[in-house]
Amino acid sequence: MKGTTMTHLIDRRTVLAGLAGMAAAPAFAQSASGTVVLYTSNNAQSVDAVLGVAKEKQPNLKISTITGGSGQLLRRIEAEAAKPQADIFWSSSANTLGAFKQLFESYASPAASAIPAALRHPENLWTASNVHLVVAMINKNQLGGKPAPKTWKDLIDPAFKGKIIIADPANSSTAFTILWGVDKLMGPEGLKALAANLTVSSAASTVLRAVGQGEYAMGLTFESNAYAYVAGGQREISLLYPAEGTFSTPEFQVLVKGAPAGAAAKAAYDLMLSKEAQIALLENAFRRPSRSDIDVSKHVELPAMESVKVFAIDEDEAAAKRDEFLKRWQSYGTATK
């Protein structure tokens, strides 16, 4: 699906219904018990999907969640490094995690055997829980009669000034991935032109709500976040995969160095990478799995990866130049909501 909007609707399944439909699901190697503290930037549907699997497969393992933006939570883990409070952080892109890798414990999860090496840190500091595609979430009722955009170039049309919203890239790894990608695809002048049309929100969740409720015509976000509105029946919402290419990024989970829950933390980490958890995430939160043993088309109506044009970005370069990029971005003086 190149440069087109997507309007497929699907019925959302419950976590347990998705699990029940799996034939001969492998049992977990051993039961675990204890309380694990999960710092997460993920939405409620994603968290609930994982908690549902934990309740079903590891009933003695309790997972307590603290939510917030990825950048905010990582800085909190940094502040707590002398006495860690979190066991697992889930999730962020490598371009953001790279600046905090001294806070993470190397852990080669047995569940990672089904995950390609390219989606794992070479020293096992992080492992991909899912893969994201960048999209523009469009509310056609707010386009003012203009045709829906098809390209990144369309989005810099001055007619869209103040009509597009994005999260703050200093706090949101989603926004950082998007803006870094635009800079590489269109160059600094293209990014600056896009910035002139954008309103920046301090919270990533505001982007989705603002477009869904018609406050903005468009929001720049990840596919899984926006598709929830399509699947929920909002016919005015569609997804744009820009014709010049969109950006793909794995989303990772990490084990916090000195995780207080010890073995229980590793058990929760394994569970979150399991086939059961990734199918639950796919069916309930539309997260493309990182595992190679799941056929996406059997579970949701999302476009096949090979049908979407992807513009490759260098995650290592993005991590190394993050501060430099953010300083330049701030100089563009985008409006803040």
- 7 domain residue, yes or no: no
Residue 2 falls within a domain, yes or no? no
Question: What total number of domains does the chain contain?
Answer: 2
**Can you tell me the distance from the alpha carbon of 104 to that of 93, in angstroms, rounded to the nearest whole number?**
14
Please identify every stretch of the chain with a pLDDT value under 70, giving residue numbers as ranges: 1-31
CA 187 to chain centre: 24
**C-alpha dihedral sign at 274, 280, 281, 282:** positive
Q: Are residues 281 and 166 in the same domain?
A: no
Provide the whole-model pTM: 0.78
Residues 54 and 139 both lie in one domain:
no
Same domain, 65 and 182: no
d(CA 125, CA 105): 6
Q: pLDDT per residue over 129-159, tens digit each?
A: 999 999 999 999 999 989 999 999 999 999 9
Which alpha helices (H) appear in the chain, and where do they start and end?
15-20, 44-57, 70-79, 94-97, 152-155, 173-195, 204-212, 223-231, 263-272, 275-285, 315-320, 322-330
* Residues 239 and 230 sit within 8 Å (Cβ to Cβ): yes
pLDDT of residue 6: 37
Same domain assignment for residues 44 and 108: yes
Query: Which residues form the domain of 186?
Result: 134-248+306-336
How much is the pLDDT for 119? Answer: 95
In contact, 129 and 233? CB cutoff 8 Å: no
Residue 79: the pLDDT is 98
Report how far apart, in Å, the C-alpha atoms of 299 and of each of 55, 97, 169, 183, 271 are: 22, 30, 32, 34, 20
| Pairwise CA distance, residues 196 & 141, whole Å | 22
Q: Is residue 5 included in any domain, yes or no? A: no
The answer to whether residue 200 is domain-embedded is: yes
In a domain? residue 6: no
pLDDT for 13 equals: 37
